[in-house]
Amino acid sequence: MEKLEKFAAMGLSENILKALEAKGFEEPSQIQEQTIPLLLNGDSDLVGQAQTGTGKTAAFGIPIIERLDEKSKQIGALILTPTRELALQVADEINSLKGDKKLKVLPVYGGQGIELQIKHLKKGGIHIIVGTPGRIIDHLERGTLKLDNLKFMILDEADEMLNMGFIEDVEKILSQTSENRRVLLFSATMPQEIMRIAKNYMKDHKVIKIQKKAVTTDLTEQIYFEVSERDKFEALCRILDLEVDFYGIIFCRTKHDVDTTTTRLIDRGYDAEAIHGDITQMQREKVLTRFKNKKLTILVATDVAARGIDVNNLTHVINYSLPQDPEAYVHRIGRTGRAGREGTAITFVTPDEYRKLMFIKRVAKTDIKKQQVPEINEVIEAKKDRIRNQISDIMEKGISKGCREFARDLLLSGEDQGQNLEDLIASVLQFALDDELEEKSYAQIRQVKSKKNEKTRLFIGLGKKEKINPKKLVDLICSETRIPSKAINDVAVFDKFSFMTVSADDANTIIDAFRRKKGKNHIHIERAKELGK
C-alpha cells in the first residue's frame, strides 16, 4: 500500500484504498489533495475549480462514499451533470471507487424511460443519484423524488450546465433541497453567473482553485508516429540513433513496460535506466543524479515516478505509451522546450489509440503533427555523418601517439601483404562499429493499416424480445459511449440479436464500454465480421 501513501494519510478507509489500488490511482491529483480532507470533515460548502481531466469526480466522489451510511434508507447525495453521458460516466466512476461498500448509485437522465426510473426510485435503497437537471425536476414535480434528507448536493461541470442553459433548473433544484445539505460546486472555469450561484445558495463556503498548468510552449515540436505495438521498440531505436544529442525521458504506462523497454535498450547497447514505484529510493537518487549531470541521457519512467524530477531542459520526451489523459500529456511534454531551448515530443500511437490521441489533442489544445518513422537508410546516413564529424574532430585536435604508431604498422604490414587501403580502413571501421552501419541490424517496421476508415459489423445480443428497435439500440450505444448516432449505420434488429456497422475505432470503444458491465446490464457485443476494404 505504500504507493497510496498520500491517499492513506488523508485518513481514507481501507475499503477505498483497495478500490484506488484496483483503479491504478497512485497519488491524489492537486484538486483531490485539497478537497478530499476538507470534505471528509466538517460541513462547509465548497467551490472547486480545476482543469478538465484533473480528477474532479473522485475529488467529491471519494468523500461522499466515505461519509454516506449504507444502512440509510434516504437519498444522501444528488450529483447534477450537464449531459447523460457525463451522468453515466460519473456513476461509473463512483461505482468503481466505492469498493465493497453497499451504496447504490442511480443515474437519472432524460432520454431513458421515466417509468423505469420511477420504479427504481419507488423501490428505494438508493444512496446516490446522478442526474441531468431537466429529468430531476420532472421527478421532483411528479413527487417521485424526495430530497429532504440530502447530505450532499453536487453541481458537476457547472460551467457546462451554464452553457447549456440549465442554470434556472439548477437553481430550482437547489431551492428544493433541505437547508443543511452541503453544496459542492465543481467547474473547469468560473464565470460570473456561477459565482453568483455560489453566493446565493452557499453558506460560508471555501474556494479551492488549482492554477491552470501552462499549456505547451511553442518551442516544443509535437509529432506522432503511427506504429503497431510490436514495432514501437524498433521505432524508438531509430529515433535514438538519429538524434545525436538525445537527452530525454521515455514514458511508459506500467512498471512492467518500463522494465522491459529498459532491458531491451540495454541489450541493444544503449545506456538507459529505469525509474518507477518499485525502484528503491537509493537507486532512484543514483539514477537521477546521473541523469541531471547528463552522464545518463536515456531515462525510462512511469508518469508518477517522473513527477518529482526537476529536469526540464530535455531535448526529447517520448510517449512510448499514450498518456492517460490530456493533463498527463501536457505535463509530460512540458519538460522540453523550456528556457529558450527547442525540444521535441514524440508520441507513439497504435491504430486503436488514434481516437484517444485526437481527444488529447483537442482538450490540450495543441497541434500534434503526424510524421513517418525515420527510414533505416536515413538513420544509417545520420550515423555516418556523426562518425565523419568525430573523425574530423580527432584529426583537428591531434591523434594520439599510440594510434598513430599502430596505424603506421598496419599500413606497412598491409603493403607487404598486398592489401589495399580501402580494405584496411573498412576493416578498422568494422572492428570499431561491428555491424552498426548494416541495414540488417535494424528490423523492418510494418506500415500500419490505418483503421480510421475501416468498417466493422457488430453483433449485439439484444433484439425484439428485449423490446429493442433500431432507435433504442442506437440511443443505448450513444449513451454509453461518446459516439454520435450518425456514426452508427445499417442497424438491423432481429428477435434475439441485432447488427450495426461502425468504424473499426468505434467498434473498439463500444466493445470496451460494454465489456465492463456486469449482471443484467451486461450485453454481449462482438465483431460479426470485418468489412475492411
Interface residues toward ligand ADP, by CB under 6 A: 25, 27-29, 32, 50, 52-58, 93, 325
- Pick from ligand ADP, Mg ion, none: which does 54 bind, CB < 5 to 8 A by kind? ligand ADP
- Pick from Mg ion, ligand ADP, none: which does 29 bind, CB < 5 to 8 A by kind? ligand ADP
Q: How many angstroms separate the CA atoms of 311 and 173, rounded?
A: 49
Distances (CA, A) of 514 to 460, 509, 511: 10, 9, 5
Interactions with Mg ion, residue window 86-145 (CB under 5 A): none
- List all residues 6 or more positions away from 513 whose beta carbon is below 8 Å from its beta carbon: 480, 481
Backbone angles phi, psi at 33, to 5 degrees: -60, -35
Q: Is 426 left (phi over 0), alpha (psi -120 to 50) or beta?
A: alpha
Q: Give the dihedral of Cα atoms 426, 432, 434, 437; nearest 10 deg.
A: -70
Closest residue to ligand ADP, based on beta-carbon distance: 55
Q: How far is the CB of 156 from Mg ion (least distance, A)?
A: 6
Q: How many angstroms separate the CA atoms of 52 and 54, rounded?
A: 6
Is the CB of 183 or the CB of 305 nearer to Mg ion? 183
Q: Is 490 left (phi over 0), alpha (psi -120 to 50) or beta?
A: left
Is the CB of 45 or the CB of 325 nearer to ligand ADP? 325
Q: How far is the CB of 35 from ligand ADP (least distance, A)?
A: 11
Amino acid at 368: I
- List all residues 6 or more positions away from 41 whose beta carbon is below 8 Å from its beta carbon: none
Is the CB of 81 or the CB of 350 nearer to ligand ADP? 81
Is the CB of 66 or the CB of 325 nearer to ligand ADP? 325
Q: How far is the CB of 78 from ligand ADP (least distance, A)?
A: 17
Which residue, 261, 253, 259, is CA-closest to 328?
253
Closest residue to Mg ion, based on beta-carbon distance: 56
**Listing from the earlier edge strand, what are the strands of the sheet with 220-226?**
272-275, 298-301, 248-251, 316-319, 343-349, 220-226, 369-370
How long a stretch of residues is the chain? 533
Q: How far is the CB of 56 from Mg ion (least distance, A)?
A: 5
Helix (H, G, I), strand (E, B) or coil at 242: helix
- Pick from Mg ion, ligand ADP, none: which does 92 bind, CB < 5 to 8 A by kind? none
Is the CB of 273 or the CB of 325 nearer to ligand ADP? 325
- Pick from ligand ADP, Mg ion, none: which does 28 bind, CB < 5 to 8 A by kind? ligand ADP
Is the CB of 189 or the CB of 419 nearer to ligand ADP? 189
Is the CB of 380 or the CB of 513 nearer to ligand ADP? 513
Measured at the CA of 308, the angle between CA 306 and CA 310, to 5 degrees, comes to 95
Measured at the CA of 252, the angle between CA 250 and CA 257, to 5 degrees, comes to 115
Is the CB of 60 or the CB of 514 nearer to ligand ADP? 60
Cβ of 88: how many Cβ atoms within 10 Å? Answer: 19
- Pick from Mg ion, ligand ADP, none: which does 58 bind, CB < 5 to 8 A by kind? ligand ADP
Q: How far is the CB of 200 from Mg ion (least distance, A)?
A: 23
Q: What is the CA radius of gyration of the chain?
A: 29
Is the CB of 19 or the CB of 50 nearer to ligand ADP? 50
**Burial letters for 275-303: b for 16+ Cβ neighbours within 10 Å, e otherwise?**
bbeebeeeebeebbeebeeeebbbbbbbb
Q: How far is the CB of 27 from ligand ADP (least distance, A)?
A: 6
Is the CB of 64 or the CB of 500 nearer to ligand ADP? 64
Interactions with Mg ion, residue window 22-81 (CB under 5 A): 56
The whole-angstrom distance between residue 355's C-alpha and the CA centroid of its chain comes to 12
- What is the SS3 string spanning 397-413? HCCCHHHHHHHHHHHHH
- Pick from Mg ion, ligand ADP, none: which does 53 bind, CB < 5 to 8 A by kind? ligand ADP
Q: Read off the C-alpha cell for 294.
A: 547528463
Is the CB of 85 or the CB of 436 nearer to Mg ion? 85
Q: Give the dihedral of Cα atoms 279, 282, 283, 284; nearest 10 deg.
A: 70
Is the CB of 220 or the CB of 479 nearer to ligand ADP? 479
Q: How far is the CB of 365 from Mg ion (least distance, A)?
A: 18
Structural contact between residues 445 and 226, judged by C-beta atoms closer than 8 angstroms? no
Binding residues for Mg ion, per CB under 5 A? 56
